[in-house]
Amino acid sequence: MKPYAFGVDLGGNAIKIGLFQTTGNLVEKWTIPARLEDHGSQLLADVVDAIRAKMAERSLTWDVVEGVGMGVPGPVDQDGTVMRCVNLGWDILNVPQAVRELEPAIEKLKVANDVNAATLGEMWQGGAQWNNSAVMVTLGVGIGSGIVVDNKVFVGSTGAAGEIGHMCVNPKETERCTCGNYGCLEQYCSDTGLVHTAQLVLEERPEEPSLLRDGEITPKTICQAAKKGDAAASEVLDRFGQLMGQALTAVACTVNPQVFVIGGQMAQAGMAILKPIETYFRRYAFHAFRNTPFVLAELGEDAGIYGSVRMLFDEVKLEEEEELDL
């Protein structure tokens, strides 16, 4: 393999880019703004320009760059076609083709869903190393998950495998989820879901004093209050744990991964978030996977660039092996 490669994490708030050595070492990372106007039509051109500028700065030519790995926040099929990406404003788009029109020198380009990429990143250099199957759950504005089996990302027939945020956990719900259905996991266990639960708990217990009654309620303040022994905050995390435990037990029944990785912005609260999930998972789980380990993600917001470049390496190795077989 050539000595360098780029990993890109295309997010709705910002685009993160990493220059890697193909030995796996991250040389430099930086962030550029994500211009969402005109249905995100400038995003790929901005990525290509940023890569060209970095190469010029470091006097690198395409002769020494193996290719580019890219994670995007939406369903992606095996060819790198994005099937609508609401956060970026994209409709159906073949990303490798679009990038090659901008820069024909990029021969090797691997595109995948960002959470799938992050899962591979955590298995490569983060919290889930030394495993060949893992499910990573990202908790934030939404809930996503990446499924890796035998070191391969499982994308499903329409690229939607791992959309556990839209698993129905309460068929009696009367409020709609952003997807249009009722009772999705995301409605209760995303950051807004957790805040909503906190408001409900406070309404149910009007007489009970709680730290949550002072100031803004966020996942962070809920976790901090629970650590101080606040009963209402503990109840919020308990309900969160019950639903997450229920959902992940269903995932384990289907996938039976070696490890669960808990990541995303809410996981920055650490054990306060992880512990209730693990407690209820152990309570509900079938005996054969009751002891599945739970770990916190370690690469933070860098997991996407690590994973996307790793996917590129895997694809290149696969192609090389296929050539040897011929």
First to last CA, the chain: 19
Q: CB of residue 16 vs Zn ion: minimum separation in angstroms?
A: 27
Interface region with Zn ion, contact rule CB under 5 A, candidates 111-119, 161-169, 198-206, 285-293: 161-169
Closest to Zn ion by CB, 125 or 145: 145
Cα(321)–Cα(47) distance, integer angstroms: 30
Q: Which of 37, 9, 224, 24 is nearest to 124 (CA)?
A: 24
**Contacts (CB under 5 A) with Zn ion, residues 179-208:** 179, 181, 184
**Contacts (CB under 5 A) with Zn ion, residues 247-266:** none
Closest to Zn ion by CB, 140 or 300: 140
Closest to Zn ion by CB, 192 or 279: 192
Residue 164 near Zn ion by CB under 5 A: no
Cα(158)–Cα(102) distance, integer angstroms: 27
> Among positive and negative, which fits the CA dihedral 322, 4, 304, 278?
positive
Closest to Zn ion by CB, 143 or 311: 143
Q: CB of residue 111 vs Zn ion: minimum separation in angstroms?
A: 25
76, 161, 164, 177: which one contacts Zn ion (CB under 5 A)?
177
Q: CB of residue 179 vs Zn ion: minimum separation in angstroms?
A: 3
Q: CB of residue 188 vs Zn ion: minimum separation in angstroms?
A: 11
Cα(320)–Cα(6) distance, integer angstroms: 19
Q: In what helix (H) or strand (E) does residue 90 lie, and over which residues does it extend?
A: strand 90-94
- The answer to whether 115 and 311 are in contact (CB under 8 A) is no
Cα(114)–Cα(120) distance, integer angstroms: 10
Count of residues that bind Zn ion according to CB under 5 A = 5
Helix (H/G/I), strand (E/B), else coil: 74:
coil
Q: In what helix (H) or strand (E) does residue 69 lie, and over which residues does it extend?
A: strand 65-72
Cα(304)–Cα(9) distance, integer angstroms: 5
Interface region with Zn ion, contact rule CB under 5 A, candidates 18-26, 172-180, 257-265, 308-316: 172-180
Q: CB of residue 169 vs Zn ion: minimum separation in angstroms?
A: 10
Q: CB of residue 134 vs Zn ion: minimum separation in angstroms?
A: 24
16, 110, 166, 239: which one contacts Zn ion (CB under 5 A)?
166
Residues at the site binding Zn ion, with contacts judged by CB under 5 A: 166, 177, 179, 181, 184
